Structure 1
């Protein structure tokens, strides 16, 4: 996160994404959300459970058909579901960043 683009550039250029997981309190059902910072485009996917495999496969599946210039960066939290970030990076040719712990403002669009 320390080396991420300046905020002004980040908002002027399409292709900078924020990812997050939302889990129901009553069940293991999970939503994966991806928000593009400039356009506020939201891609929301229901997952059966919050897992490393399901999260990485979903992110790759949902972003792979976008042009390369529409996949510049992906900023995520430090959750265990994001452990396969290297697989996401290699599959999508996207730079993955992680917000600092307890710094939700670093992913303000998708928090």
Structure 2
């Protein structure tokens, strides 16, 4: 399924849950089922290799700013539904990229690409 949520372009094989939608920001949860997530980010330096890997990710939380002058999203890999279970988080400028989250059986491939 390919969709846009408040300007964030996302394509995923998983359910997307908009769990909080307030005046200035919104939270999206994508349950991925306690799997390994392989993260590929377009434009990483060559010395980084091709991917970053996190094990036993239950949910991907995307918290995005709805401010037109600040299109920043923070992506959290969670071990459970609780934000305090985050094992990794990072920011992206979603005005210039798209996110793909694909089911690969025993793992999940998450790609962040420039648009």
- Does the alignment reach a TM-score above 0.5? no
Which has more helix, going by share of residues?
A: 1
Structure 1-normalised TM-score? Answer: 0.31
Which has more strand, going by share of residues?
A: 2
Structure 2-normalised TM-score? Answer: 0.31
